[in-house]
Every structure is written in structure tokens, then in C-alpha cells.
Amino acid sequence: MRCPYCAGENTQVKDSRPTEENAAIRRRRVCPDCGGRFTTFERVQLRELTVVKRSGRRVHFDRDKLMRSVEVALRKRPVEGERIERMVSGLVRQLESSGESEVASSTIGGMVMEALRGLDPVAYVRFASVYRDFREAADFQEVLSEIAAEPAAVHATAPIPFESSVAVTAPLKKH
């Protein structure tokens, strides 16, 4: 493993431990050349995945990009990092075990939306607003109506009162 600080190639593993319910190994490394310390993660990869974008362009699947987009949707929400990690790992396992080497970006987006729907309703709306490219307040109102119609037990956290969410769709008037 190459050192991220000095690009030295003789890094040494100082500590290894399983993480993510034994689905990955966390390795703490040190570079003898510059003394830099860093962490790497080792995960099983069943197959190389290619994401087919809406434009038809093909890009290599990036687990970190998926994690970042989920973290943005969940920013400042009361969801533990371990639950986020398990969700993302589960999505990646589903994609890898699907048998397909190419996956449409819309398929990934749909899977993320369903996972967020059960995890946190606010994150679900945030992700949906970007994924579905909301253009006006009525788009938010439609998704909020869907959430409000669901039983509260569906969500892992307490749902947002629908009435207060609808109020933001009315334009503000200046006096």
C-alpha cells in the first residue's frame, strides 16, 4: 500500500480488526519513510460494477460516492453512523449479487430512496428532491403526502408532522 503522504511503497500494518459485522477489515498503517499514519479498509468485492448514467455514459461504480450522497441526505439527522454504513453495505451487496455487471443509475437511486424511506423520512425527502429533480413546491408536497399517508411504524425515527411541512410551500409575502 502506497503512503498517501510521501508515496512511499513500504507501509506497514500496525493493527487489523474486523468491522461492519465482519464484512470488512480495518487496517491501521504507518509509513517508515515519513512516519505518516493512515487507515485502510478491505472489503469483499464480488464483481466490478459499471453505472450506466441517464446520458448513456458508463462510469465505474464508486461506493464512496454512494456513501457521500447518503450522508448528505442524512446530515444533521439522528441516525447513527453504524446504521448508515450497514445500509450502504447492504445496497452494495444487493448490487453485486444481482448478477449484472452494469447497473442503471436510476436503479441505484431507487434502491437508495427505498432504503432511506425506512431509515429517516427527512433524508428520504432530501434525496428524492435531488434524485427526482424537484422543480417546484408541489413536488415536495406530493412526496410529503405519501409519507403522511404511511403508518408511523414504517419509519425508524418519529415522522415529521405533515401540517408544519406543508406550510413551507406557501409563498412568503413582504409587508
Give the range of the structural domain holding residue 24, as residue numbers without chain letter.
9-44
Q: Does residue 174 lie in a domain region?
A: no
How is residue 152 annotated by DSSP?
Answer: G
Q: Would you say the C-alpha torsion 81, 86, 89, 90 has a positive or negative sign?
A: negative
Verify that 113 and 29 share a domain, yes or no. Answer: no
pTM over 0.75? The answer is no
Q: Does residue 113 lie in a domain region?
A: yes
Domain total in the chain:
2
Contact 20, 86 (CB under 8 A): yes
Say which residues have a Cβ less than 8 Å from residue 7's Cβ, sequence separation at least 6.
none
Residue 38 pLDDT exceeds 90: yes
Biggest CA-to-CA distance, the chain: 68
Verify that 147 and 77 share a domain, yes or no. Answer: yes
- Judge residue 27's burial from the number of C-beta atoms within 10 Å of its C-beta, 0-12 exposed, 13-18 middle, 19 or more buried: middle
Verify that 68 and 128 share a domain, yes or no. Answer: yes
Verify that 34 and 61 share a domain, yes or no. Answer: no
Q: Does residue 137 lie in a domain region?
A: yes
Verify that 40 and 53 share a domain, yes or no. Answer: no
Least confident of 5-9, 12-16, 136-140: 136-140
Residue 161 pLDDT exceeds 70: no
Q: Which of 22-31, 44-53, 140-149 has the highest mean pLDDT?
A: 22-31
C-alpha cell at 4: 498517501
Verify that 26 and 92 share a domain, yes or no. Answer: no
